[in-house]
Structures are given as C-alpha cells and as structure tokens.
Structure 1
C-alpha cells in the first residue's frame, strides 16, 4: 500500500458530547456517593418507609451500593462507546478509501477514488462546536456507498477525497 493521507477513528466525545458529560458525572458522583455513603435527604427518605419484615438496612449502606451502581452504569457506557469508536477506522490513500468496522468480525469497505461522485458532510450545531461531522460518500445511485458518523475534522476529509478524486477521474 502507498502512504496514508488521512487516518481517523470516530471520537466518543464528538459523537456523544452530552452523553459523555453525563456518563462522567455519573461515574464521579457515583464514586463520591459510594465512598462517602452520603446522599442528601437519604435519612428523611429512609425514615418515611416502614421496616421490611424486620430487615434493618442502614441508609449509608443503601447509599454506598446505589452510588457504586450509578458509577458502574456511567463507566459501562463510557467503555462501550469507547470500544465502538476504537473498532471503526477510516483511512484515505491516494487511490482509495478504506472503512474498517468491527472487533471480532471485521467489515471492510473499499472505494476507488475514481468512482467517487459526491462527498457530503453533515454537521449539527453541536457537532460543529466539537469539530465533528457525518461523512457520506456516493459513487453510483441515490444511496451513499459509505456513511460514517462522528468523524473529527470532516471538512478536511472531504478536501482530501475531493482533491484525489479529481486527479483520479
């Protein structure tokens, strides 16, 4: 293969900015609650429930497990999103575009630069703020041959493809 002109993976932060913030807050807040056992208004809430058949659970005990559970949910989402972004990769070579997707089972999409008809970049306001976008590459027909979401610097990718496709075509 020849030299790589561009190589990128989707970014967790760029694909899910609000979800990433919420997951980090869940992780930090859950660990804080779990380690300290302090949850605002827990004692008053616990006092309003009658005892369950003689079970005596302490409010701090409940708060610790609730905190660890919240932290685990946040950490699980961050890890899941990170692995999803890690297994997707876009590579642009002088003569072709290669999109690789998958961890155990791999899917490869190769597009010759000479067959690229249209490259579209879609960016929402939030994507523009974080420097990300969705890339659609059309070769023939009305459906995109390749649709990649959450790539960093999508206009740079479009320029690479446009320059190479015009010289190849």
Structure 2
C-alpha cells in the first residue's frame, strides 16, 4: 500500500508573521540565514502513514525515526490556533499508552486528513 499521507511541516502557513519578518530581513542578510535554517528544519521532518504504520522521521545528518502501529494508537490530538485553522495546519500529537505523546509534530498540513486516515486504518 502506498503512502496516503506524507507531509513535511509547512513554513509560511505555520507561521506567516515569522515568514514575513524573515523576508523583510533578507536585505540585512540575517533573513536569508533564518529562512535557510527554517527550510532545512521543515524539510528534515516528515510525518507519514504507510500501510498500518505511522512514521515520524526527523533529522538532516543524523536521523531519528519513530514508528507506531496504527492498531496501537489510542488518541490523535490536533492543536490549532485561529491562524492555524485559517491556513489548515496544526500540531499533531499521537498517544498510545500513558499521558505523554509518542509522536508530536508541529506545523503539519491537513491534520484532520491525518486523523481520518488513522481512524480508517483502525477500522
């Protein structure tokens, strides 16, 4: 089965004011550094549903990979501010057992689609 959801955190939609500020600072050269760092941070994080697994992969040079079985997921929590809701991004927290999330990914596009795919895979 191919991936139904494989996304990197969004840059502009997750923090539009920070993005605009960084673009304004481009002539001062610090804006370029901020945008490059931010871009690499976003591209080095990926949340994916692949078959019956949820995978969070982080890191550019060294990798941290967390894999969860969809059947073991107890709760998928989505946290969105007003602007996050407007731009359709949010923080996805996945709980299996206990009070701490096993996976937490901020700035993820279409978080409601992610939650629905997990529910569909559990059925």
1:2-151 maps to which residues of 2 (within 5 A)? 2-27=1-26, 30=27, 70=28, 72-151=29-108
SS at match of 1:155: helix
* 1:25 CA displacement: 1.7
Shift of 1:94: 2.3
Distance in 1 (CA, whole Å) between partners of 2:22 and 2:80 is 23
Q: CA deviation at 1:125?
A: 0.6
Q: Which of the two has greater strand per residue? A: 2
Q: Which residue of 2 aligns with 1:155?
A: 112
Deviation by residue 1:49-97 (Cα, 9 ceiling, x = unmatched)? xxxxxxxxxxxxxxxxxxxxx1x10111011000000000111022100
Larger displacement relative to structure 2 (115-124 or 14-23) = 14-23
State the SS of the aligned residue for 2:98.
coil
Higher relative helix content: 1
Shift of 1:3: 1.4
RMSD of Structure 2 on Structure 1 (CA): 0.9
Instruction: Give the TM-score taking structure 1 as reference length.
Output: 0.70
Gaps of 5+ in 2: none
* CA–CA separation in structure 2 for the residues paired with 1:88 and 1:99: 7
Runs of 4+ that moved beyond 3 A: none
Q: TM-score scaled to structure 2, two decimals?
A: 0.96
Q: Higher Cα Rg: structure 1 or 2?
A: 1
Secondary structure at 1:129 match in 2: helix
